[in-house]
Structure 1
Amino acid sequence: MLRIHFTAQDFAQIRFAPRPAPLQELHAVLTTAVTRRGGPLFAPWRGRVLRSLPAAANPLADLVPAGRPPSFLDVIGDTMADGFEQIRATSPGLVRSELERVYGTMPAPRWIRGLHAGDETAWRTMHRAQQAAYETVLAPVWSVVQDLHREEFTRYALTVAEHGVAATLTGLAPGSRLHEGVWEWPSAAPDRDVCLNGRGLVLLPTFHHPAGPLLHDTP
């Protein structure tokens, strides 16, 4: 069970991202492609995505050994450049601690060790890999993602206006419920409690991720 704890201030700060975030959608594409989520319906698409990825995108696999990406990759930027700028602004201490968490005792590739050390060449390697993956698998359908996002944005706004925030949140996640200030999501994953503590919540639909939710708990 995933439980998100709201205060009154958090309810006042719920917002729906006005535009899709290319880096987040790219992460959803790659996660779905490599984890085989979505069942047989996604099989032809998954094969096309994996076959089309250029060699320049290969370093991205090094960022998710055992499927555990570092948290500093989770940013919401309106463009790829905005997103990468936010990632690059991550404090060196957080970059090091997250890479150490992700790799543990496993040996890390050379460029990952460079990223850990703050080497600019390593950052450029990651930037090129993200851009290459985006141009190959997401750019061709980005206009569709934008149209779908506008539809979701409008639907969300109308539902809030007609039924209120509580009904809208549970409507976004069938099977979830809002009870005494806690949004509960039934899940097969281990129990997790997230206390927003006045930070509010940003809702961002993703269109290449058939499972959910994806929750990033930022400081």
Structure 2
Amino acid sequence: MVFRIHFDCADLARTTIARQPDPLWEVLLGVHILQVDDEPETFGTWRERTRARLTALEQELLALAPPVGYSPDFLTPDAAARGLDAGLTAVAATPAKRLTTELRQLSDSVRLPGWTRRLAAGEPGPMKRLVQGLRSFHRTKIAPQLPMIAGAVEPAVAKHTETVAGNGLEKLLPELHPTLSWSAPVLTVDLPHIERDLYLDGRGLRLVPSFFCWKYPMMLLDPDLPPVLVYPVRHEAARPGLVVRRPDREGAVADLLGKTRARVLRSISAGACSTSELAARAGISLASASEHARVLHDTGLVTTHRTGSSVQHTLNPVGAHVLTGTRC
């Protein structure tokens, strides 16, 4: 069975490649990973530790994200491409009618707990708990792994960008994953138990790399939503074991900067972020994130620039040298 994505000329021109994983897709796919035992070399250590440390709010996510089959589209809004905060705001604003439709779709394949009926009715309490659970899972289970994830994703995206620049998007598409094949103007995804057609109709396709997407590329069910294809990146750069570190180097950085400031620096190394996103990644307060970012900027390890009313923090070559030991 196959999922066919139909392009026209405008779609090829408007298809984009995200430079980093989507935070809410990683949360959803991370929750999937917790419920299976696949890829033990990559996910085994992380999965074991995460299962042992799930909070009550995070456990509720399991009901909405079965590892096989449908997961509600509202959990991975397009707005999350702008960051975790934007994505969670979009989740919280999901209309009750859409909640009802998607949760009913989910209930066709799994038995849902009673609180999901209140969620579908638009009651604020269940939605608040859901958003808190999503934020907590990202902050405590995904964000600490971002430097390791970046080590796998960044080289893959660089290679994909080079392929597009040298040979065009049509050359890249079938190279993203073995299940993908291109026969103009249709991209075919070979998936079990799915027989569908998606017509992009000039909207283009957002290609999003993912570390926690481990088997097949993922798409949304609703054809009216902004089209996205989330594809797995190869994990060799991160093996063995997702949470394995290079302790000597990390210990030296922590001794130099202090454990919290070293964690902040590593969080920034995962990609440009606002102060609020930095706080979520590092698992610290907003005020603490702001102060640590200021010190790192003043000492020349981080570049901070203001855009409108917000600031963006990025790792500069000196900071990269401190973290990795490579020359500037």
Q: Aligning the two structures, in what range does the TM-score lie when normalised by the shorter sequence?
A: 0.7 to 0.9
What are structure 2's unaligned runs of at least 5 residues?
225-328
Aligned-pair CA distance for 1:39: 5.6
Aligned-pair CA distance for 1:213: 0.8
1:205 alignment partner, SS class:
strand
From the CA coordinates, give the structure whose radius of gyration is larger. Answer: 2
For residues 26 and 106 of structure 1, what CA distance do their matches in structure 2 show? 20
- When structure 1 is superposed on structure 2, of 172-181 and 61-70 the one drifting more is 61-70
Counting only pairs closer than 5 Å after superposition, residues 12-161 of structure 1 correspond to structure 2 as 12-38=13-39, 42-64=43-65, 67=68, 68-76=70-78, 77=80, 78-104=82-108, 108-161=112-165
Match of 2:265 in 1: none
Residue among 195, 199, 202 paired with 1:198: 202
- Do 2:92 and 2:128's aligned partners in 1 also have CA atoms closer than 8 Å? no
Give a deviation string over 1:147-173, Cα, whole Å, max 9, x none: 543333322221101111111111112
Q: 1:45 to 1:83 in 2, by over 3 A?
A: same
Aligned-pair CA distance for 1:41: 5.7
Aligned-pair CA distance for 1:86: 1.5
For residues 66 and 174 of structure 1, what CA distance do their matches in structure 2 show? 21
Aligned-pair CA distance for 1:71: 1.5
- Do 1:65 and 1:103's aligned partners in 2 also have CA atoms closer than 8 Å? no
For residues 52 and 91 of structure 1, what CA distance do their matches in structure 2 show? 32
Q: Percent identity?
A: 26
Aligned-pair CA distance for 1:108: 4.2
For residues 106 and 67 of structure 2, what CA distance do their matches in structure 1 show? 8
Q: TM-score if structure 1 supplies the norm length?
A: 0.88
- Do 2:20 and 2:154's aligned partners in 1 also have CA atoms closer than 8 Å? yes
Q: TM-score if structure 2 supplies the norm length?
A: 0.61
Aligned-pair CA distance for 1:85: 0.9
Q: CA RMSD for the aligned pairs?
A: 2.4
- Do 1:2 and 1:186's aligned partners in 2 also have CA atoms closer than 8 Å? yes
Residue among 164, 168, 175 paired with 1:171: 175
- When structure 1 is superposed on structure 2, of 97-106 and 127-136 the one drifting more is 97-106
Aligned-pair CA distance for 1:54: 1.9
1:127 alignment partner, SS class:
helix
1:95 alignment partner, SS class:
helix
Give a deviation string over 1:55-103, Cα, whole Å, max 9, x none: 2311112223685321111224133211111112322211111112212
For residues 153 and 44 of structure 2, what CA distance do their matches in structure 1 show? 24
Look up the equivalent residue of 1:145 and give its one-letter code.
I
Q: 1:208 to 1:104 in 2, by over 3 A?
A: closer
Look up the equivalent residue of 1:95 and give its one-letter code.
L
For residues 179 and 103 of structure 2, what CA distance do their matches in structure 1 show? 35
- Do 1:71 and 1:98's aligned partners in 2 also have CA atoms closer than 8 Å? yes
Look up the equivalent residue of 2:87 and give its one-letter code.
G
- Do 2:8 and 2:185's aligned partners in 1 also have CA atoms closer than 8 Å? yes
Residue among 191, 196, 199 paired with 1:187: 191
For residues 66 and 187 of structure 1, what CA distance do their matches in structure 2 show? 15
What are structure 1's unaligned runs of at least 5 residues?
none
Look up the equivalent residue of 1:70 and give its one-letter code.
P
